[in-house]
């Protein structure tokens, strides 16, 4: 195993079946001061991270629709979609570390923590998926999260704006209605897993906000207008209510930002 964090992060991104275990051991190594930030060769473009060989990537329109949560198949479709998001989130966290150099050590502390928590989320969801006789890779999924990583690979400011503060923040809005549907089906274990994930994801978006504000301060940019400009430039979807206002405020959004998209 390498003693360089950047090289270790690259291995986590490119790993396939071993990604989850490698992510966990790499996070532990960093937390135990066994990895350093010594100069490494510059980051390479990564058009595709390591994914299970069985996983079929399709357009968002072709992903199987979840018709109901009252059947094992409907539950499996939901769990597979959520597991795919978390697997991608592991890649995204390690890519933030691998790609962006010469930042304060606290930046790397934060994103290692995110990678480790996303690993936990994936394991919790995958365990439930396996109980339904599926594994991650059995169903198709779309690649929107990583496509945004590629689009924002050239600038940490843009990455922090578009991945945590747009894509991951949408999860803050989407998760409570899913929890309500799971509660209606009395799927309490899944409810508790999603409540944990929601709690942690508020922290992850807050980390994105923290480093977005840091980059804005370094460049003498106004955060709110800069965020609005970058969303218009890089994001083709809609950011629109209903928002999980409490979660977004806790994650570093201002009331003025939320009103911009109302």
Low-confidence winner among 59-68, 174-183, 248-257 (lowest mean pLDDT): 59-68
Percent of the chain topping pLDDT 70: 96
Hey, what are 111's tokens?
């994103």
* Assigned domain for 202 exists: yes
Domain count along the chain = 1
pLDDT confidence of residue 78: 95
DSSP type of residue 168 = I
Where are the strands (E) in 1-47, listed by range?
A: none
What is the four-CA torsion angle of 259, 244, 172, 64, rounded to 10 degrees? -100
Percent of the chain topping pLDDT 90: 85
Strand partners, 4: 36
* Assigned domain for 248 exists: yes
Please tell me whether residue 57 adopts helix, strand or coil conformation: strand
In this predicted structure, the answer to whether residue 262 has a pLDDT above a threshold of 90 is: no
Please enumerate in sequence order all residues whose Cβ is within 8 A of that of 5, keeping only pairs 6 or more positions apart, or say none: 30, 35, 36, 37, 97, 108, 112
pLDDT tens digits, one per residue of 183-235: 999 999 999 999 999 999 999 999 999 999 999 999 999 999 999 999 999 99
* Assigned domain for 47 exists: no
* Assigned domain for 48 exists: no
Where are the strands (E) in the chain, listed by range?
A: none
Residues of the domain holding 167:
5-42+53-260
């Amino acid at each position: 195993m390498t003693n360089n964090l950047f090289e270790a992060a690259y291995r986590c991104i490119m790993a396939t079946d071993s990604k989850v275990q490698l992510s966990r051991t790499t996070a532990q190594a960093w937390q135990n001061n066994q990895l350093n930030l010594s100069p490494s060769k510059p980051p390479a473009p990564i058009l595709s991270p390591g994914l299970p060989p069985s996983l079929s990537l399709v357009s968002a329109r072709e992903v199987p629709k979840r018709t109901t949560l009252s059947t094992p198949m409907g539950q499996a479709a939901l769990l597979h979609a959520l597991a795919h998001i978390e697997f991608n989130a592991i890649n995204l966290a390690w890519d933030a570390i691998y790609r962006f150099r010469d930042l304060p050590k606290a930046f790397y502390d934060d994103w290692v923590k995110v990678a480790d928590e996303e690993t936990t989320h994936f394991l919790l969801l995958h365990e439930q998926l396996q109980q339904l006789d599926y594994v991650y890779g059995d169903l198709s999924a779309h690649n929107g999260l990583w496509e945004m990583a590629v689009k924002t690979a050239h600038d940490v400011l843009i990455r922090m704006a578009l991945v945590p503060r747009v894509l991951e923040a949408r999860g803050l809005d989407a998760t409570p209605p899913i929890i309500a549907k799971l509660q209606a089906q009395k799927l309490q274990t899944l409810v508790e897993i999603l409540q944990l994930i929601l709690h942690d994801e508020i922290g992850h978006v807050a980390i994105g906000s923290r480093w977005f504000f840091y980059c804005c301060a370094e460049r003498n940019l106004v955060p709110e207008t800069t965020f609005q400009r970058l969303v218009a430039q890089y994001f083709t979807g809609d950011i629109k209510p209903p928002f999980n206002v409490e979660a977004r405020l806790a994650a570093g959004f201002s009331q003025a930002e939320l009103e911009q998209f109302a």
